[in-house]
Amino acid sequence: MASKKPSAELLNLLNQAIAREIQVSVQYMWQHVLWKGVKGYAVKDAFKSTAIQEMKHAEAVAERLNYFGGIPTTKPTPIFLGTTLRQMLETDKKDEEEAIALYKKIIAVARKEGDETTEFLFKKILSDEEDHHDLFTSLLEKD
């Protein structure tokens, strides 16, 4: 058990992060399965590898929450698969933007509470999310 109990706000934010990571891990994996056409073939592996990375994020955040005595959520935020590759990528780009904003907030709250471990964890995850955002943004670019 942690020596200093985090605020209810931080615990809630950690569960929001878990719900979001579960959402995108399922969303990206199903997009990997449901791809269509030549362009879909070109990005299907990117969906899969990103999905796996997002599930690892969910696991890391859940472990942190458990350390604090919290119970990780099992409910993802709403999953949207899209029916076209463009819809998928636009949704995924938006989801990464939302994650970046959430994780910056978590870093700020953790810093304010003197929780260096949570701050460090989310700085690493934030870097990954920025890479994902760059990936989806780049895939949306026209030739």
116-140 and 37-67 helices, crossing angle to 10°: 170
Domain tally, the chain: 1
In a domain, 2, yes or no: no
User: Is 18 among the domain residues?
Assistant: yes
Give a yes or no: residue 92 inside a domain: yes
What's the pTM?
Answer: 0.93
Going by pLDDT thresholds of 50, 70 and 90, the confidence category of residue 38 is: confident
DSSP string, 82-97: -SSHHHHHHHHHHHHH
Residue 1: the pLDDT is 42
The domain spanning residue 135 has which CATH number?
1.20.1260.10
CA angle 71, 61, 10 (to 5 degrees): 70
pLDDT, average across residues 11-38: 94
Domain limits for position 104? 8-140
Mean pLDDT of 12-27: 98
pLDDT tens digit string along 53-82? 999 999 999 999 999 999 999 999 999 999
